[in-house]
């Protein structure tokens, strides 16, 4: 009897010990997610008008992808797909959200965060959220739930939507940070609330004037989308935003360093309003847009230096990417267009944010894990929608059939073990496109061909479009009429993916 008890205890101790070793060998994961950063905006992808040394450090020490994509050409759908592993175009209500939207991911659903939390990771999100909060009409003066904590994150410090949308306050876990209950926050996207000045009626109060829209409630001398009143003590200062969220990201790493952790660090740069801290203002020579690229690069440096200082860099998987392609004038007269010079934010690709052309979704992506990933360059076709399945494979978690319906395990490509990623990818803007190898098919789309406000080519055309990106990276020669069998085959495949409700086998 004593022998059996001893054997049982020994087996339990061995199991606990080996499980502990397995947990220790798993890498920490830091996902640095830029906002509106283009393929050509950083020097390791060809930018010459400015230098991004910290991002370049990641490229030199890791794997640089040349055919990596956000899941959509705008922010909310890209972030939805990133977390859920589902193309956002499959779900209504996943377009660009107002600042008072309800949470668009159902609590309890499998997400990138919940997979890692189930595997024993401490999980945190710091920065831009823009996926909604709550389940109905929000009262910003009470607990804001459900939110990230109901989706698998242990901790969150959020910019609820975007910097150009009210409310201009931070949310930590379920509460607005620094809120004075005697000065409650009120928010409306339908009509003015309170007597706050607006950019439309009080332009003399502005330090940055809007170029289109963005003329409602003024906060910190900048008029926003939407109306708010109250919450004076809780309002952010745009110039300090990058430092504030970077400090929270560093603190998360410092406090969770004893166990595997996952940090989703979603910066606000390069999104409007572009209001760099004074130490970056004027440094790039490209105006505020270039300055906040340098500011983003400095935030990357703070994360990398923290990992070095704590001795964590060797076994930390760092991924850097962007939610969608670049936009120059996105609502404010900030000299982004007039100071652009020879800088090409989308690099060699046509279009940008909002566009179905490659510049809409093809973004920088760097992967560094010194213990495991050899430095180099990869041409594998990969997409952020695949992070859920790939992280599940990394931590040996099996997905249920209904989980991540469009997320594929491309871990061998992410780690540099394979030159092959996806065989095909659906790209999303106001219409859809299908990539297969060098071929790209864009289905006929309605609406304007160009966004007049942002001066972006949208790619809409009443005719089908077919391009061979190997021969024609600028998508200048539509081959749909000359290569109709290829166009028809890709169209049939795109419609089959649309009808199926999933693309993961």
Other CB atoms within a 10 A radius of the CB of residue 186 amount to 17
Distance CA 202, CA 293 (A): 30
- The answer to whether 334 and 163 have CB atoms below 8 angstroms apart is no
- 356 and 248 housed in the same domain: yes
Same domain, 272 and 136: yes
Instruction: Flag residues of the chain having pLDDT under 70.
Output: 1-24
The predicted structure's pLDDT at residue 459: 96
**Last residue in a domain, options 165, 198, 229:** 229
**pLDDT at res. 25:** 74
Q: Is residue 7 part of a domain?
A: no
**H or E stretch at 255:** helix 241-255
Per DSSP, 165 falls in state B
- Encode 273-282: b = buried (16+ Cβ within 10 Å), e = exposed: bbbbbeebbe
Q: 250 lies in a domain?
A: yes
How high is the pLDDT of residue 80?
Answer: 98
- What stretches of 265-322 show up as alpha helix (H) in DSSP? 288-309
Q: Which of 447, 203, 231 is nearest to 332 (CA)?
A: 203
**What pLDDT does residue 201 have?**
98
Q: Are 376 and 64 in contact (CB under 8 A)?
A: yes
Residue carrying the six token digits 């089908």 = 464
CB of 409 closer than 8 Å to CB of 389: yes
Q: How many CB atoms lie within 10 A of CB 191?
A: 6
* Number of Cβ atoms within 10 Å of the Cβ of 305: 13
CB contact set of 342 (below 8 Å; sequence gap of 6+): 48, 49
**Is the domain of 208 the same as that of 264?**
no
Using CA atoms in the order 416, 419, 423, 425, what is the torsion angle rounded to 10 degrees?
Answer: 50
Handedness of CA 289, 61, 84, 355 (dihedral sign): positive
**Same-domain pairing of 244 and 201:** no
Same domain, 333 and 217: no
DSSP 420-462: ---SEEEEESSSEEEEETTEEEE----S-SEETTTTEE----S
Same domain, 165 and 300: yes
**Tens-place pLDDT, residues 47-104:** 999 999 999 999 999 999 999 999 999 999 999 999 999 999 999 999 999 999 999 9
The number of domains in the chain is 3
Per DSSP, the residues of 189-204 read SSS--TT--BTTT-GG
Residue 223 sits in which domain range? Answer: 186-229
Ramachandran region, residue 62 (left: φ > 0; alpha: ψ -120 to 50; beta: rest): beta
343 plus 478 within the same structural domain: no
Do the beta carbons of residue 38 and residue 363 sit within 8 Å?
yes
In a domain, 103, yes or no: yes
Q: Tell me: do 410 and 460 sit in the same domain.
A: no
Whether residue 304 lies inside any domain: the answer is: yes
Q: Are 145 and 156 in contact (CB under 8 A)?
A: no
Residue 320 lies in a domain: yes
Q: Which residues contact 402 (CB under 8 A, 6 or more apart)?
A: none
Contacts of 11 (CB under 8 A, 6+ apart): none
- In-domain check, residue 12: no
Instruction: Name the residue among 251, 252, 164 with its Cα closest to residue 210.
Output: 164
Provide the CATH number for the domain around residue 475. 3.30.1120.10
- Please tell me whether residues 328 and 442 are part of one structural domain: no
Give the other-Cβ count within 10 Å of 235's Cβ: 20
CATH code: domain of residue 53: 3.40.720.10
Cα gap 299→292, rounded to integer Å: 10
Report yes or no on 4 lying in a domain: no
Strand locations in 61-183 (E): 63-65, 68-69, 122-128, 155-159, 171-172, 175-176
- Torsion sign, CA atoms 72, 73, 79, 82: positive
Q: Residues 179-205: pLDDT tens digits? A: 999 999 999 999 999 999 999 999 999
Q: Is residue 394 in some structural domain? A: yes
Query: Both 340 and 477 in a single domain?
Result: no
The answer to whether 89 and 356 have CB atoms below 8 angstroms apart is: no
- Does residue 199 share a domain with residue 174? no
Q: How far apart are the first and last CA of the chain?
A: 50
**Same domain for 161 and 78?**
yes
């Amino acid at each position: 009897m004593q022998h059996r008890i001893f054997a049982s205890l020994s087996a339990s101790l061995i199991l606990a010990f080996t499980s502990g070793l397995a947990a220790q060998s798993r890498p920490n994961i830091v996902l640095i997610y830029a906002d509106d950063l283009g393929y050509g905006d950083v020097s390791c992808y060809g930018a010459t008008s400015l230098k991004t040394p910290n991002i370049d450090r990641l490229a030199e020490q890791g794997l640089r992808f040349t055919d990596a994509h956000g899941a959509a050409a705008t922010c909310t759908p890209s972030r939805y797909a990133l977390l859920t592993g589902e193309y956002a175009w499959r779900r209504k209500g996943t377009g660009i959200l107002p600042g008072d939207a309800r949470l668009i991911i159902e609590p309890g659903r499998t997400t990138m965060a919940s997979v890692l939390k189930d595997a024993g990771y401490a999980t945190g999100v710091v920065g831009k959220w823009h996926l909604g909060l709550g389940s109905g009409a929000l009262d910003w003066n009470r607990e804001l739930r459900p939110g990230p904590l109901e989706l698998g994150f242990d901790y969150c410090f959020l910019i609820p939507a975007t910097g150009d949308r009210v409310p201009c306050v931070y949310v930590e876990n379920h509460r607005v940070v620094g809120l004075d209950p005697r000065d409650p926050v009120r928010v409306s996207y339908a009509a003015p609330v309170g007597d706050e000045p607006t950019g439309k009626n009080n332009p003399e109060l502005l330090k940055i004037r809007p170029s289109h829209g963005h003329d409602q409630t003024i906060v910190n001398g900048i008029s926003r989308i939407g109306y708010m009143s109250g919450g004076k003590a809780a309002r952010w200062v745009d110039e300090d935003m990058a430092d504030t969220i970077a400090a929270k990201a560093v603190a998360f790493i410092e406090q969770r360093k004893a166990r595997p952790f996952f940090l989703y660090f979603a910066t606000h740069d390069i999104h409007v309003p572009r209001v760099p801290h004074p130490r970056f203002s004027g440094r790039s020579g490209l105006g505020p847009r270039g300055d906040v690229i340098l500011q983003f690069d400095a935030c990357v440096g703070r994360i990398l230096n923290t990992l070095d200082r704590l001795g964590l860099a060797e076994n930390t998987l760092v991924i850097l990417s962007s939610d969608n392609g670049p936009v120059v004038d996105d609502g404010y007269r900030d000299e982004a267009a007039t100071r652009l010079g020879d800088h090409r934010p989308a690099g060699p690709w046509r279009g940008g944010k909002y566009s179905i052309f490659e510049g809409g979704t093809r973004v920088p992506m760097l992967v560094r894990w010194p213990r495991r990933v050899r430095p180099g360059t990869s041409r594998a076709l990969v997409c952020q929608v695949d992070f859920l399945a790939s992280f599940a494979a990394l931590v040996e978690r099996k997905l249920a059939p209904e989980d991540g319906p469009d997320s594929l395990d491309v871990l061998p490509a992410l780690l540099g073990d394979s030159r092959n990623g996806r065989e095909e990818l659906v790209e999303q803007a106001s219409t859809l496109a299908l990539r297969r190898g060098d071929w790209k098919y864009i289905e006929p789309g309605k609406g304007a061909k160009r966004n007049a406000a942002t001066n972006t080519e949208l790619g809409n055309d009443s005719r089908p479009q077919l391009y061979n990106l190997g021969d024609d990276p600028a998508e200048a020669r539509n081959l749909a009429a000359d290569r109709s069998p290829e166009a028809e085959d890709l169209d049939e495949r795109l419609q089959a993916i649309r009808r199926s409700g999933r693309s993961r086998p």
